[in-house]
Copies of this chain bind each other. A is one copy, B any other.
């Protein structure tokens, strides 16, 4: 795994694929099977996914949740607009089902590492469709290098039952985000019972070790040496349907 050096701070409208390609070239290029893991924030920034809280008027529900969670009502309003529903909340905690299906805190919105601007109060949303963003970036990089470059867009999630955040995949292209091992035998020839691995989530967690937490210093990590067999599957396949979930 290599954290790409030399990537500039990303701004709305930047050609992110171009910036990444230059950084990859400077780092020695790509090899077959490479996966580029990108922190969600640089993708969102390039896509201009900012909302200025100074322009937001909270709904009554946002006002009520703001009191119960001790969060800015305008921020809660933006979180609710990005969400299908609230899964749990308590003081300082607001777990929602994001409109893309991710169950996560604050719909992935926070203020850290967003450029402060005089007279405004910007927050950064997740990419509109992180799988589509990953696919576009993968296509652009693959065309540039004449070689398939898989892309994972990652974020840090808290978890029930366990302390500490871990990297997870919001978007993926060019690899099986969910890997099916059904039917493969164990060491003694019996069918394996655990049948699917969160492949893109494990890649995101691995890359997170190099990205560091929160800071945008190393937002792009190239992962080399994985075997990407199996059909491509997007990160949307990592979302468990509500009907199969015992914890909503």
Contacts and interface: CB of A to CB of B under 8 A. Distances in A.
Contacts of A179: 164, 213
Contact of A187 (B159, B184, B217): B217
Task: Report copies per complex.
Answer: 2
Interface residues of A, number: 61
Interface in A82-136: 88, 90, 93, 95, 102-103, 110-116
A186 B213 CA distance: 9
Contacts of A246: 88, 90, 93, 95, 160
A216 B237 CA distance: 27
A163 B197 CA distance: 8
Max chain B CB contacts within 10 Å: which of A90, A213, A217, A239?
Answer: A213
Contacts of A102: 161
B208 A209 contact: no
A101 to B, nearest CB: 9
